[in-house]
């Protein structure tokens, strides 16, 4: 078995190919890329993986996947997913989303409204850890601003989507960040710092862009933007706690408890429903948790059969040095996201391969985690069949193609990522 592991085999990648064919095929056939649940597609791919390599017994294959599932990063990642879901459920039920949105709009000058939508989207998505949740919260407000100013609704909606993708890439509790960090073996705060510095120019240019194209438009707030600062506190606790390096489990559990206290104190959560809202949040993370488990099983078998080694051999034959390796990680993660239409799934799939590449070419794990998160977010923020753009379209009556030309933040994020790869000298951290 030792020699077989060292030999790369393209055929070992068949399960991943089967997943992509089934997932994409169903989406094209039914004109709905969510017609085929990713869980089902991965189960089929896992079945194919079990059928490969008849020289290895079924029991041995079970031992291989059990060992893969037992890795610290996989278990930790799944537990963090569930804790993040608990926090999201509690803080949403407590009214934290509405209060945070209204607080932001109350503080932003009227002539800066559309650019402000982007900034609010950045803050909320970083705090919530979900781009779809951010779009759901802000899209109706974007429609309102468009109606009151007469400015293109597409511009307003694009500002929301851009802000949502900013946080999806950076949030400490985003499933994409969790997956990227855990698969690459680095700390969240370290990845955040490196990633933030890379995308900051893109964010600044995006603010200037939305301000410039709407500079002659004023937005007079006519409705009462009620907010309760105590409902915003849980977001601040999670954000600040994560940034200063407190253990992510403690941060999420603390944020959940504070959310429940704030919700009960303000009357948004009935005492008897405290555990229900937490449970609903945890349930919302079941899919990605199960997908992470299935992908870990598939990758374990693919690696045993030489699939990972084959990819490494192909990359090694075409690139040289750490910069080339980073480019390979970026391209691989981007392409897989285009195929899966889910940036978390794409990171979970490509993470183990990216880890092998980064180890082989001495790439800082903080950089590989950043590239994984960034370039899957680039794809997710631009594809018209992704959940983010479809959600924005459904809530506003537009089509994704109406506001895609204004989605400059994902485009600029890609440019910043490429520039960072080209000009930054890398040295693996201790």
Quick one: pLDDT at residue 221?
58
pLDDT tens track for 122-145: 888 887 777 887 887 778 778 877
Q: Quick check: 5 pLDDT over 60?
A: no
Of 406 and 105, the structure prediction assigns the larger pLDDT to: 406
Residues 259 and 234: beta-carbon distance below 8 Å: yes
pLDDT tens track for 312-357: 777 777 777 888 889 989 988 898 888 667 788 788 888 888 898 8
Quick one: pLDDT at residue 196?
93
What's the mean pLDDT in 160-186?
89
Q: Quick check: 369 pLDDT over 90?
A: yes
Q: Quick check: 194 pLDDT over 50?
A: yes
Quick one: pLDDT at residue 245?
65
At residue 430 the predicted structure's pLDDT band, cuts being 50, 70 and 90, is: very low
Quick one: pLDDT at residue 220?
57
Percent of the chain with pLDDT over 70: 91
3-state per-residue secondary structure call for 395-423: HHCCCHHHHHHHCHHHHHHHHHHHHHHHH
Q: Report the mean per-residue pLDDT for the chain.
A: 84
Quick one: pLDDT at residue 80?
80
Quick one: pLDDT at residue 263?
93
Highest mean pLDDT among 168-177, 270-279, 283-292: 270-279
Region class of 320: left (phi > 0), else alpha (psi between -120 and 50), else beta: beta
Highest mean pLDDT among 269-283, 284-298, 385-399: 269-283
d(CA 284, CA 280): 6
CA separation, residue 31 to residues 16, 24, 400 (Å): 22, 10, 14
- Report the candidate in 336, 248, 345 with the shortest Cα–Cα distance to residue 292: 345
Residues 97 and 268: beta-carbon distance below 8 Å: no
Quick one: pLDDT at residue 383?
85
Quick one: pLDDT at residue 222?
59
d(CA 274, CA 272): 6
Q: Quick check: 207 pLDDT over 70?
A: yes
Q: Quick check: 251 pLDDT over 80?
A: yes
3-state per-residue secondary structure call for 121-153: HHHHHHHHCCHHHHHHHHHHHHHHHHHHHCCCH
pLDDT tens track for 381-397: 998 877 788 788 878 88
Q: Quick check: 101 pLDDT over 90?
A: no
Quick one: pLDDT at residue 284?
83
pLDDT tens track for 6-61: 577 889 889 988 988 888 888 888 877 667 887 898 899 999 999 998 889 999 99
What's the mean pLDDT in 66-73?
81
Quick one: pLDDT at residue 3?
42
Of 189 and 326, the structure prediction assigns the larger pLDDT to: 326
Instruction: Report pTM.
Output: 0.72
């Amino acid at each position: 078995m030792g020699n077989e592991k060292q030999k790369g085999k393209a055929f070992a990648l068949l399960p991943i190919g089967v997943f992509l064919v089934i997932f994409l095929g169903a989406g094209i056939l039914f004109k709905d890329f969510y017609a085929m649940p990713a869980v089902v597609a991965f189960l089929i791919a896992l079945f194919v993986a079990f059928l490969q390599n008849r020289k290895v017994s079924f029991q041995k294959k079970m031992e291989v996947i059990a060992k893969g599932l037992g890795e610290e990063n996989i278990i930790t990642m799944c537990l963090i997913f569930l804790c993040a879901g608990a926090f999201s459920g509690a803080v949403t039920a407590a009214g934290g989303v509405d209060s945070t949105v209204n607080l932001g709009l109350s503080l932003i000058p009227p002539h800066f409204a559309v650019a402000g939508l982007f900034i609010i989207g950045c803050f909320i998505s970083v705090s919530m850890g979900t781009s779809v949740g951010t779009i759901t919260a802000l899209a109706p407000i974007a429609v309102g601003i468009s109606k009151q100013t007469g400015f293109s609704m597409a511009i307003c909606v694009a500002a929301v989507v851009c802000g949502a993708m900013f946080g999806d890439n950076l949030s400490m509790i985003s499933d994409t960040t969790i997956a990227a960090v855990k698969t690459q073996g680095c700390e969240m705060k370290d990845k955040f710092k490196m990633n933030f510095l890379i995308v900051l120019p893109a964010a600044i240019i995006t603010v200037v862009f939305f301000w410039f194209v709407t500079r002659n438009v004023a937005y007079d707030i006519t409705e009462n933007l009620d907010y309760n600062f105590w409902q915003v506190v849980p977001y601040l606790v999670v954000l600040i706690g994560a940034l200063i390096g407190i253990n992510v489990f403690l941060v999420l559990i603390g944020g959940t408890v504070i959310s429940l206290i704030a919700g009960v104190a303000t009357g948004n959560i009935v005492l008897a429903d405290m555990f229900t809202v937490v449970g609903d949040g945890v349930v919302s993370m079941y899919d990605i948790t199960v997908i992470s488990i299935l992908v870990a099983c598939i990758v374990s078998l693919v690696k045993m059969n030489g699939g990972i080694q084959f990819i490494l051999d192909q990359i090694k034959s075409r690139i040289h040095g750490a910069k080339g390796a980073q480019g390979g990680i970026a391209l691989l993660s981007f392409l897989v996201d285009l195929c899966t239409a889910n940036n978390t799934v794409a990171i979970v799939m490509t993470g183990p391969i990216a880890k092998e590449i980064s180890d082989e070419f001495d790439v800082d794990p903080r950089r590989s985690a950043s590239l994984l998160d960034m370039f899957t977010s680039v794809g997710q923020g631009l594809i018209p069949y992704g959940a983010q753009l479809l959600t924005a379209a459904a809530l506003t009556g537009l089509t994704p193609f109406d506001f895609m030309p204004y989605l400059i933040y994902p485009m600029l994020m890609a440019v910043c990522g490429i520039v960072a790869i080209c000009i930054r000298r890398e040295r693996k951290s201790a």
